[in-house]
Amino acid sequence: MAGLRFWLVSLAASGLHAGDVFTLPALPYEYDALEPHIDAETMKIHHGKHHAAYVAGLNAAISKSANDGSMAALTKLQSEAVKVGAAHRNHGGGHYNHALFWVNLAPASSSSEPSPDLAAAIEDKFGSLEGLKEAFAKVAMSRFGSGWAWLGVTPQGTLAVTSTANQDNPLMEGLEYKVEKMIPILGLDVWEHAYYLKYQNRRADYVALLQDLAVQFSLSLPAPSSSEVSAFWSIVNWKKAEFGMFACGFMEAAMTFARGQPVPPTPTGGALFAP
């Protein structure tokens, strides 16, 4: 597990630090690019204020410890954050989670459909894309208070969904509550700051309303109605989710992960969090 975790989180950290400090990554699209699903004002505050605060908090925390702001430090931080302390856990998790969240999204006009391999993995685990959406919505809505919903790859090489509280993520070990062990490839922020300006207290509308491009990436399913499809799914960046799952070979990586052996670097040399 440590091998694949190091590989993925190292990719995650690419472009997120400069020298001995972490930096706020630039968005790969304009603040208004996710309209009408996520409004520009929410994006400005979410990225420029909330995420920036996590970066600043993380840098303040590592300045008082042996962490040096490197990719290796962030990798170690994710797995040991619970043990290290609240500042590292909250701010380190917040930085990692949001950096993944931004590249999980794309303008509705550019959203892509899952590749045949990813579609097959979804169908094998959830029965259909609609089955995945239902399972994902369930964990997102069942998270009381603030947190995240996740789609990831388990040690057995299958897809699974889970949720975490606050700025925790499935890479963290020693959480006080049960979380599915997985490498996250897709995350949804269900903190109120992610949706309150547009949706107020209607988290269900944020998680499970609207449809726009769902038909374009459906698995040969009937066109869904507007009340059945998430706004989130209309702006999912499937290419990045697929990269997180397949960059070093899905089955090979999953089996290596299950055996607890190191996973080789992605042959493309690409970065998961690059625009």
Tens digits of pLDDT across the chain (275 residues): 444 444 344 444 444 555 557 888 888 889 998 888 888 999 999 999 999 999 999 988 887 665 555 555 666 777 888 988 899 899 999 998 998 888 778 787 775 677 777 788 889 999 998 898 889 888 988 888 899 999 888 877 788 999 999 999 998 989 999 998 888 888 889 888 877 788 788 787 777 543 332 322 322 222 222 332 345 566 566 665 554 544 334 434 444 444 444 433 333 333 434 44
pLDDT attached to residue 239: 62
d(CA 47, CA 40): 10
* Domain containing residue 123: CATH number: 3.55.40.20
Q: Is 66 exposed, middle or buried (0-12, 13-18, 19+ CB in 10 A)?
A: exposed
Question: Beta strand 183-189 with 147-153: parallel, antiparallel or unpaired?
Answer: antiparallel
Does residue 251 sit within a domain?
yes
The answer as to whether 80 is a domain residue is: yes
Q: How many domains does the chain have?
A: 1
Q: Which has the closest alpha carbon to 48: 61, 33, 73, 30?
A: 30
Residue 220 lies in a domain: yes
270 within some domain: no
Judge whether 249 lies within some domain.
Answer: yes
Q: Say if 115 falls within a structural domain.
A: yes
**Nearest CA among 181, 201, 205, 180 for reference residue 191:** 201
**Which structural domain, as residue segments, surrounds residue 237?**
2-26+38-259
Write the Ramachandran bin of 168: left for phi over 0, alpha for psi from -120 to 50, otherwise beta. beta
**Amino acid 210: pLDDT:** 34
The predicted structure's pLDDT at residue 175: 92
Does 188 map to a domain? yes
Q: What is the 3-state secondary structure (H, E, C) of the chain?
A: CHHHHHHHHHHHHCCCEECCEECCCCCCCCCCCCCCCCCHHHHHHHHHHHHHHHHHHHHHHHCCCCCCCCHHHHHHHHHHHHHHCHHHHHHHHHHHHHHHHHHHECCHHHCCCCCHHHHHHHHHHHCCHHHHHHHHHHHHHHCCCCEEEEEEECCCCCEEEEEEECCCCCCCCCCCCCCCCCEEEEEEECCHHHCHHHHCCCHHHHHHCCCCCHHHHCCCCCCCCCCCCCHHHHCECHHHHHHHHHCCCHHHHHHHHHHCCCCCCCCCCCCCCCC
Alpha carbon 79 to its chain centroid, in Å, reads 16
Is 31 a domain residue?
Answer: no
